[in-house]
Structure 1
């Protein structure tokens, strides 16, 4: 299982934005069709928590929250106490403890990307964190034009020539924007991060032996 703990940054300056985030997360889940096992809710103060069983959905959601900005993301990968209650606030088990450790670590001022992963398999968890941080750092450097083509290609599964027609630009212009945005590299890295998250749960399933 995967527990995500998301804490607001700078709430004293910007006020409580939890309700806005919860609405944003609900819209994201509706738009992508990737929903949590237990939906996000406020836990304490300006913090929210949700539970997933799909590592691909965790990667997607974590990178989306980082793009929105203003939040610290902690991911805990490991078992939870069963039966899992309806409310994340009532949940317990290693994944919840790891998520708390992760979000506190992610608050470090030395971090350029406010995200951390802690897993029952600590090595795989930190590897997953490294990939996610790198992807988020690359995405943070995109221009508006880069995001426009990246979002369109990701959402609609278009061919570059179709997107060029839609945007009224040349196919070469679309190709250049995608290269500059490192869109293909990001799409390739997301599944790698998800596999590392799955291994971080500590089950040992489908994980290659270390050399």
Structure 2
């Protein structure tokens, strides 16, 4: 990625930690190969092993973050922490040597991801890196999109990934069916079971909300003005865990 195009006050760091590393084989080489296919234009400092079972990289775009998360969720063996914030300049030659609030936030996020079934968390280092995102704030919305989308991908079978890869490459359903040696109807059913259409929407939503979170330096603070909820509603969500419907929100705000 061209350094002149990077806003170093709002970049992304992804820190990923291998699950059950003490009881299983070393998956770091496999993960580095997978994230190494992320378009170079999205990467500021390439991923590398930063500890025995951990990898880390610096990204300049939300699209790059989503591409990395997608690859790691597919491998199933990783907890993923995403940090948004700044990085110290002059920029180090490697992610191991780099420092900044985005790195601190990514460390907090990957620790938070340990306690989640999906294993994805997002933190903003421009406030308190250890602060839990406020409900309905920009960081909360972006994290929620990543978690929900990641949960969808985690349920995808190997056959689902096969057809998704072909469709992602630009093949039509019929061409994908020919490549797989199955009928067009069977390919279509695989795509449906793989939630391919929902995956595409999830990608777009996650990118848009990550970009929004990065653009808001107070993302870990109070809910943003456009969050479409009132403080009483946020308190209710904390108490019940139930998200109000659009009708409920409209009724409260009248």
TM-score normalised over the length of structure 2 = 0.72
* Structure 1 unaligned blocks of 5 or more: none
Q: Distance in 1 between matches of 2:30 and 2:98?
A: 24
What SS does the aligned partner of 1:13 have?
coil
Q: Which residue of 1 aligns with 2:17?
A: 7
Deviations for 1:29-51, whole angstroms, at most 9, x for unmatched residues? 3xx55552101122233222110
Question: Is 1:199 the equivalent of 2:212?
Answer: yes
5+ residue gaps, structure 2, are 1-10, 128-132, 218-223, 229-254
Contact persistence 2:45–2:58 (CA under 8 A): yes
Contact 2:73–2:153 (CA<8 Å) still a contact in 1? no
Q: Which structure dedicates a bigger proportion of its chain to helix?
A: 1
2:91 to 55, 62, 84: 84
Paired residue total: 202
Contact 1:106 1:114 in 2 (8 A): yes
Is 1:79–1:201's contact at 8 Å kept on the other side of the alignment? Answer: no
User: Contact 2:45/2:57 (CA < 8 Å) preserved in 1?
Assistant: yes
1:203 Cα deviation from its structure 2 partner? 4.1
TM-score (norm: length of structure 1): 0.85
- Once residues 129 and 52 of structure 1 are traced to their aligned partners in structure 2, the CA distance between those partners, rounded to angstroms, is 17
* Alpha-carbon RMSD: 2.2
Counterpart of 1:102? 109
Equivalent residue number for residue 73 of structure 1: 80
Decide which structure has the larger Cα Rg and report it: 2
If asked which structure has higher relative contact order (CA below 8 Å, sep 6+), I would say 1
